[in-house]
Structure 1
């Protein structure tokens, strides 16, 4: 096996030892990644390399560059020194193993999370970015002659020809039946499905010589002795001399106008930053929201994010401040939805943007605010999906009722999902529940 094959083998081993994606989301260091690059730790496997023999670097007796001459003592431990302490930075085995990172962009992250959790979210196109001309599939009644759909015109004329055609000689023989009148010939032809008009019979009635009338005693006798030819047989024999075109059959081709849409999305992330949101709760919010942001960035052509922090009041913040803010105020969740509604209406019209509104907190809220204010506001904000994530380590507190109230209010509503995250192990289940609700 050559050096190149060795190198590839070591790299494959390293990639197989990349941290599992679910474990990374639950317990890994999410802060080391950015919006466009997700860094998942992998165990480093030392790659083979060339090493120089220490004997080629100079030694005792050479007397160069400060090295001792023959007979001078050598300082420091020798290979035979049983008491040698080794490396000054630590004994072998005492330091943790080195790590490197497997970097993926949000698109790859979304694909892998789909496979890991069994998701299949198909983004919707919203904003029209361009109108282009497609194939000439649209038909109108007027247009330049160069766009006339002649094939369609010919087919319609041919259908009319076949529908109106009849065996003229057969009808003329019917006119030779003894004692028959034009009306009797017409009625008999109709009974035999001969599509001749009464006017045609009348126009040609006098063309039959008198000495030929009475050739047949009855229509039945005539039909038994005269062979009736079909339209196709006559066309094969005589050719197609004319096709009855009509102006109402004319159609002109125009190009189909295709609207090319961009799959864009705005994600509004709302977080409770009141005094009750301690570090453990804040970390669970970050572990849930950060992978959701990565996932939707990877799924859509264009993704924008709005971050809203709130206690009793709400304000927009940068992403860098969103997860770290903590205040000492009370809690009024409706303030965040009021601000979200204003921002979405002003910047991200529903007709042009896919919308996700994700909120998280410990479910504590001021009295009656959820039922009287939050629920009507959520109903009034059109979105692909509303989600509320309760982060309450150790289980729900007695006064934490917001999530349950929202869940009851939207029990039969497909566009709202409520999830509960008590510890890091619940994070991927919450993410699956949110994204699979949108998928459905």
Structure 2
């Protein structure tokens, strides 16, 4: 193994050392990342290289300038950097050096799918292009160049086989003593021979009168003359003519394929009232941020709306969303009222996939959840509604919003409720939300 192989191996090790995705989501520094660029910390692995030993700076016959007398001590060896006794190299005092493994949201989504065992397959809504595919559709009219001749020939051949009969066999029946065209026609009908009366009459006239009593009975004729099948006759003689009809004509038409753009809008709602202190806000950010990355990676075009609320609701920028805090009360329905208004105005349901994610500590004004929030969640069309409760110290007595929503929607695949009391719960909460959406999409 040469130096080049060594370098490649070290690079592989460095990549493998990036933090486990679950660990990054729970404890990692997400502030280094951007909406379209996820930076996962990795441990640096130093690449091997040759270096000169800088400790031995002298040479033969050289010294510091003074020549010691015989028996004079020359001093104790000085410790080198990193050796025992060096103040700057004490073990455990400095953190390891890190860099970042950069991945786009699409790669993040793929890795999260593998990590959590998900397989979300978003559907496109807005038609952005129609193009012609294979010539799989059939019409009754069209340009001559698109005539499906193979189909036309097959239809004609089927008709040929259905109309064909053993002409010589019928002519022998016309030679039965006492039988004429009418009798032979009725007999042919009984035998399911597709022959016309006009053909029988013409064939009878062509038979000499002296031959019209060759057979004493039809039974004698059938015993002496073998009836030849259509398939045998075609194999021997081939097909001279195939009867085509205009009704058999079909024209190939290209299948029209609709290219649909996978558009998604994610409405993130956060309670910013006085009870939402720093630890609760951090849990919201740690849950919502990976969801944003994931959906950005899954869809062609992703847009985000951020709504903050206390007793009232207002739209904010992402930079403000996770840090803002007010001192007011809480009325969660105000956020859904604003969400419904913005979705109707900007993101019509027939063109956009919609996700409405809300988070808070489950505290809400009296009866607001039952009377206002739940009905609005049912009225706002969306791929998924989700509520994330963040209560680091356990449920407060009046923190019942999440329980009420969960009790109402039960196993409904259009709504999910997740509980996050510490960073260790974040990955499970994300799985709960995304797995619910997966069930809805693939159902």
TM-score (norm 2): 0.89
What are the equivalent positions in structure 2 for 1:208-287 lying under 5 Å apart?
Answer: 208-287=207-286
* Deviation, structure 1 residue 155: 1.1
Contact 1:137 1:253 (8 Å CA) reproduced: yes
Segment of structure 1 superposing worse, 173-182 or 425-434: 173-182
* Residue aligning to 1:406: 405
Give, in whole Å, the separation in 1 of the partners of 2:120 and 2:176.
Answer: 77
- Helix, strand or coil at the partner of 1:53: coil
Give, in whole Å, the separation in 2 of the partners of 1:308 and 1:216.
Answer: 101
What are the equivalent positions in structure 2 for 1:133-144 lying under 5 Å apart?
Answer: 133-144=132-143
- Helix, strand or coil at the partner of 2:123: coil
What are the equivalent positions in structure 2 for 1:320-399 lying under 5 Å apart?
Answer: 320-399=319-398
Contact 2:374 2:405 (8 Å CA) reproduced: yes
Give, in whole Å, the separation in 1 of the partners of 2:307 and 2:52.
Answer: 59
* Residue aligning to 1:34: 34
After superposition, the Cα gap between the structure-2 partners of 1:183 and 1:362, relative to the gap in structure 1 and judged at 3 Å, is farther
Length, aligned pairs only? 430
Q: Deviations over 1:268-320 (max 9, x none)?
A: 11111111111111111111111111111111222111111111111111111
Matched, 1:53 2:58: no
Q: Deviations over 1:213-232 (max 9, x none)?
A: 23223222211211211222
Give, in whole Å, the separation in 2 of the partners of 1:16 and 1:140.
Answer: 58
Contact 2:266 2:304 (8 Å CA) reproduced: yes
Runs ≥4 residues deviating over 6 A: 56-59, 81-85
TM-score (norm 1): 0.90
Structure 2: which 5+ residue stretches go unaligned? 68-74
Give, in whole Å, the separation in 2 of the partners of 1:287 and 1:139.
Answer: 55
Contact 1:122 1:439 (8 Å CA) reproduced: yes
* Residue aligning to 1:190: 189
Contact 2:79 2:85 (8 Å CA) reproduced: no
Give, in whole Å, the separation in 1 of the partners of 2:111 and 2:411.
Answer: 31
Q: Deviations over 1:322-373 (max 9, x none)?
A: 1111111111111111111122222222111111111111111112222222
After superposition, the Cα gap between the structure-2 partners of 1:244 and 1:409, relative to the gap in structure 1 and judged at 3 Å, is same
Matched, 1:8 2:15: no
* Deviation, structure 1 residue 161: 0.8
- Helix, strand or coil at the partner of 2:130: strand
* Deviation, structure 1 residue 266: 1.3
Give, in whole Å, the separation in 2 of the partners of 1:84 and 1:185.
Answer: 122
What are the equivalent positions in structure 2 for 1:96-175 lying under 5 Å apart?
Answer: 96-175=95-174
After superposition, the Cα gap between the structure-2 partners of 1:38 and 1:162, relative to the gap in structure 1 and judged at 3 Å, is same
Give, in whole Å, the separation in 2 of the partners of 1:54 and 1:237.
Answer: 100
Give, in whole Å, the separation in 1 of the partners of 2:338 and 2:79.
Answer: 73
Give, in whole Å, the separation in 2 of the partners of 1:430 and 1:147.
Answer: 56
Give, in whole Å, the separation in 1 of the partners of 2:77 and 2:5.
Answer: 35
Contact 1:78 1:84 (8 Å CA) reproduced: no
- Helix, strand or coil at the partner of 2:267: strand
* Residue aligning to 2:70: none
Q: Deviations over 1:117-171 (max 9, x none)?
A: 1111112122222111222222222222122111111111111111111111111
Contact 1:355 1:384 (8 Å CA) reproduced: yes
- Helix, strand or coil at the partner of 1:305: strand
After superposition, the Cα gap between the structure-2 partners of 1:143 and 1:276, relative to the gap in structure 1 and judged at 3 Å, is same
Matched, 1:295 2:294: yes
Give, in whole Å, the separation in 2 of the partners of 1:78 and 1:3.
Answer: 39
After superposition, the Cα gap between the structure-2 partners of 1:42 and 1:81, relative to the gap in structure 1 and judged at 3 Å, is closer
After superposition, the Cα gap between the structure-2 partners of 1:11 and 1:236, relative to the gap in structure 1 and judged at 3 Å, is closer
- Helix, strand or coil at the partner of 1:54: coil
* Deviation, structure 1 residue 201: 2.6
- Helix, strand or coil at the partner of 2:120: coil
Structure 1: which 5+ residue stretches go unaligned? 72-76
